[in-house]
Amino acid sequence: MRQEAVALSYLEWVRLIGTGAIRLAEARIVRWRPDRADPAEVVANLMLGAPDLGTSATSFVLAMLEPEVLDRMREGGIDLGQRLNLETVRSFHSFSDTALAVHRPDAEAAGVFIDLTPLAAGWAYWAAAVEAADRRAQGEAMLALLRVPRCDRFGQATNWLADQERCIAPDDIVRARDSMFFGWACVLNAQKVRTGVAPVLPADVKEEADALRRDFAVDQPFLARAPRLRAFVVSLADEEDRPSDLLAMASLKQHERYVIKREGATLDLPSLIEDIRLLEGLDVGAAGFLVQALGERVPGELIRTLKVRGVTCASAPTGVHTLGGEDAARVPDQGDCADVASTPNLSPQPQTIEAAAPMECPMLSAGTGEQSAGSDVVTAGVVLAEAPTSVQGDSATESPHEDEALFNSADRRRSSLAPDQPGLDFAHPANPEAESSAGAASSRGPEDGKPADVAARSKSRSGKSATKIKKPKKSEGSSD
């Protein structure tokens, strides 16, 4: 009943079926009884000794072995380990159907047979566990880098976030993508789908939302840009919701979209720090929720770049909140941080941190050259984009305490829902006449509206050149 097997990397397997033998440490061989072992535990034990090549099933092949199959290798007084011969392998197996489709042509070319293993279900569970552990490590690394306390209720908050995200209808928010309204569109649409009633935006809030829909300069603080939407979204919180979590969700979706749009190559760090600062004034747990959740979603290369650069809140604009106590003692020197020029209006100068390419795998490709209105073409690295020098509306004077007071306005929340209200169009188009006139104005070149100047310059050039024409010399003996 006992079975023995080893998880080989794809290259090890190709070498084994191509040459007939490979060197293999006996410690990598796992022995178990199928009637007493959990498939996930067996796969976990098999992968403990395998090289870390990620969680793709195509990178590994399971080799079922005969008992006591390894031969000791020693030559010239040197212990070379142990040898696994192809003849002592009972069968080869793939951990998934997709991997089997990739491995089968190689097996057929080498004259061996390969099939799907009964441990495939255990592989899926193991891969999910490894990916979850990697995500958690990334989120905690992001918290440590930005000196933000961990959210004690992070598990509960992530479950709440997953429920909210499942309620988002992609078709309802597609036109808000890549604008300053996208994060708000996600939250409002989730509320609409979850409750079955579209939130009714007051006139002033709707005016602010329409302006954000047309604002594609996303390199600016998100939450501070929309004080009226902040207050309105806070009023939508149910008894089981935390108002600050709704704001954290809106910021998370906005920054997540920023990274996705740039193919994982950049992160608008100053804008993120401004959002963290605002949330910390309301609920430190919400700030930790935002940072850890975002850290779990961005590529690991971005976090590694931040870590190499020593980027923390200490490198943020003057006035950005940093933790005191023990955490303050761990703040690196200014020479170790990314230099960000700060001014009294909290506006860092634009700067790009170039991300170092990883040694083991190629760096994620940079942006495809797409250019949003009012922004430069994005390059690879972590972008420390310029924050706005002024905030429209009353966001510059509104304090976090005023937002905190809004958390207790239960009656306002009730009045924000209309039972007979039709579906809210989150992709509300702008005034077509205004857009057409603006487009016509922006499409005019520098030569439009100045034909007289062009003609005058042309006439001047032609006249000047005429005076330079030399008369032909008269031939000798000719009369005057």
Tell me the per-residue pLDDT of 78-90, one tens digit each, with 9 for 90 and over: 877 788 899 999 9
Helices (H), 181-297: 182-195, 203-213, 227-235, 243-261, 269-280, 284-297
Lowest-pLDDT choice from 24-38, 269-283, 360-374: 360-374
Q: Is the Cβ–Cβ distance between 65 and 29 less than 8 Å? A: yes
Tell me, what's the pLDDT at 454? 41
Across the range 328-347, mean pLDDT stands at: 32
pLDDT at 479 over 60: no
Predicted local confidence at residue 312, as pLDDT = 62
Please, what's the b/e burial string for 220-244 (b: 16 or more CB within 10 A of its CB; e: otherwise)?
bbbbbbbbbbbbbbbbbbeeeebbb
Q: For 88-117, what is each residue's pLDDT tens digit? A: 999 999 999 999 999 999 999 999 999 999
Residue 422 lies in a domain: no
pLDDT at 40: 94
Q: Which helix (H) or strand (E) holds 5?
A: strand 3-9
The residue from 389, 415, 441 where one domain ends is: 415
State both tokens at 152: 């004690």
* Mean per-residue pLDDT, 136-147: 94
User: Residue 309: which pLDDT band, with cuts at 50, 70 and 90?
Assistant: confident
Tokens of 124: 């899926």
Residue 86, domain member (yes or no): yes
Shared domain for 278 and 382, answered yes or no, is: yes
Task: Tell how far CA 107 is from the center of its chain.
Answer: 38
pTM score, whole prediction: 0.63
DSSP letters spanning 354-420? PPPPPSSSPPPP---S---TT-PPP-SSEEEPPPPSS-STTTTT--HHHHHHHTT-HHHHHHTB-TT
Per-residue pLDDT at 52 exceeds 60: yes
Do 106 and 192 fall within a single domain? no
Q: Which of 35-39, 172-176, 305-309, 416-420 has the highest mean pLDDT?
A: 172-176
Q: 345 and 240: one domain?
A: yes
Closest CA to 381 of 271, 297, 257, 265: 265
52-88: burial string, b at 16+ Cβ within 10 Å, e else: eeebebbbbbbbebeeebbeeeeeeeeeeebebebeb
Give ∠ CA 62-67-73 in degrees, rounded to 5.
Answer: 85
Print the domain residue range for 391: 149-415
Q: Which of 302-306, 348-352, 358-362, 459-463 is most confident?
A: 302-306
Q: Is residue 421 part of a domain?
A: no
Q: Tell whether 472 is covered by a domain.
A: no
Mean pLDDT, the chain, rounded, equals 74
Report the distance separating Cα 143 and Cα 138, nearest Å.
Answer: 9
User: 128, 163, 186: which is the final residue of a domain?
Assistant: 128
Looking at per-residue pLDDT, the higher value among 122 and 371 belongs to 122
Verify that 296 and 362 share a domain, yes or no: yes
Q: What number of CA atoms fall less than 13 Å from residue 346's CA on the CB side?
A: 17
Residue that has been written with the tokens 């990334």 in this structure:
138
Same domain, 233 and 302: yes
Residue with tokens 């009972």: 90
For the chain, how many structural domains are there in total?
2
Are 287 and 173 contained in the same domain?
A: yes
Statement to judge: residues 294 and 323 lie in one domain = yes
Q: Determine the pLDDT at residue 313.
A: 56
> What CATH number is attached to the domain comprising 97?
3.20.170
Asked if residue 164 and residue 114 are part of one domain, the reply reads: no
pLDDT of residue 98: 96
Residues 238 and 372 in one domain: yes
- Cβ count near 12 (within 10 Å): 20
**Residues 250, 427 contacting (CB under 8 angstroms):** no
Same structural domain for residues 399 and 324?
yes
Q: Measured at the alpha carbon of residue 232, what is the angle toward residues 430 and 435, in degrees to the nearest 5?
A: 10
Is there a single domain that holds both residue 66 and residue 201? Answer: no
Which pLDDT value is given to residue 165?
Answer: 95
